[in-house]
Amino acid sequence: MKQRGLFFALLVLSAALIAVGCAQGQPAAVLSKAITVCLECIGIG
């Protein structure tokens, strides 16, 4: 029973941190960096 409570607490914390990151515009920054890395890897960028 204690593990189940810990699981739900971590689930709620994870969702809250994801929401904060999305509110700050982090997905766009991560996508931009990923595109740059991929283009450099294939030799275009």
**pLDDT given for residue 32 in this prediction:** 94
pLDDT tens digits along 13-38: 999 999 999 999 999 999 999 999 99
The domain containing residue 28 runs over which residues?
2-42
User: pTM for the full model?
Assistant: 0.67
Distance CA 10, CA 4 (A): 10
Indicate the pLDDT class of residue 43, thresholds 50, 70 and 90. confident
- Number of structural domains found in the chain: 1
Distance CA 24, CA 11 (A): 20
Is a pLDDT exceeding 80 seen at residue 9?
yes
CA distances from 42 to 18, 23, 38 (A): 31, 32, 6
